């Protein structure tokens, strides 16, 4: 038995609420599609991760057993890091994922609080959010004039702490 399949089965045995995380490829760039099909066919819930392209999304969804729950984690933040708008990309991924009755799309690797609202606007199923993004929630809807003044005061305080005097 290949080690990845053995490891996945062991992790799946930890409990009924466990989804086994499988990268879309291995480190040599070889597709994990056969492993995904095998494990999903055995009823093992998966989180297929490190997905970037719509072709990868299509391939993953095609390999998932329709009776088995799964997450497809598209790294929208890293897609945005390449200069591409993640919103149309993720909307297209959502349409592809929702062909499967038990699959959900994960907006992974968000970069800014705006991504939470973007994910919600397209109806994305799940978004991973880091603590630093959660800490920005109080700024939602904040008056921009007040925010500007706070920022100018922060600049001044930083300069004073650094010992700058003019």
Domain ranges in the chain are: 3-135, 137-166
32 vs 49: CA distance, rounded Å: 11
pLDDT recorded at residue 2:
65
Profile the chain (166 residues) by mean pLDDT over runs of 10 residues.
Answer: 84 96 96 97 98 98 98 98 98 98 98 96 97 94 96 96 87
CATH classification (class only), 3-135: alpha beta
Evaluate if pTM is beyond 0.75: yes
Residue 68 near residue 103, CB atoms below 8 Å: no
Neighbours of 89 (CB within 10 A): 18
21 catalytic per annotation: yes
Measured between alpha carbons, how far is 76 from 50 in angstroms, rounded to an integer?
10
pLDDT at position 3, please? 79
46, 70 Cβ separation under 8 angstroms: yes
Catalytic residue among 21, 102, 136, 142: 21
Supply the DSSP symbol for 62. Answer: H
């Amino acid at each position: 038995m290949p080690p990845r399949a053995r490891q996945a089965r062991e992790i799946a045995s930890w409990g009924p609420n466990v989804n086994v995380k499988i990268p879309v490829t291995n480190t040599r760039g070889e597709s994990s599609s056969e492993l995904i099909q095998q494990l999903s066919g055995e009823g093992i819930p998966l989180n297929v991760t490190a997905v970037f392209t719509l072709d990868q999304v299509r391939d993953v969804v095609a390999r998932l057993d329709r009776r088995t729950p799964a997450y497809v984690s598209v790294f929208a933040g890293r897609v945005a890091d390449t200069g591409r708008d993640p919103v149309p990309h993720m909307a297209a991924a959502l349409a592809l994922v929702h062909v499967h009755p038990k699959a959900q799309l994960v907006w992974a690797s968000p970069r800014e609080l705006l991504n939470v609202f973007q994910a919600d606007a397209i109806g994305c199923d799940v978004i991973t959010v880091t603590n630093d993004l959660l800490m920005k929630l109080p700024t939602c809807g904040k008056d921009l004039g007040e925010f500007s003044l706070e920022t100018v005061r922060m600049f001044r305080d930083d300069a004073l702490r650094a010992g700058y005097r003019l």
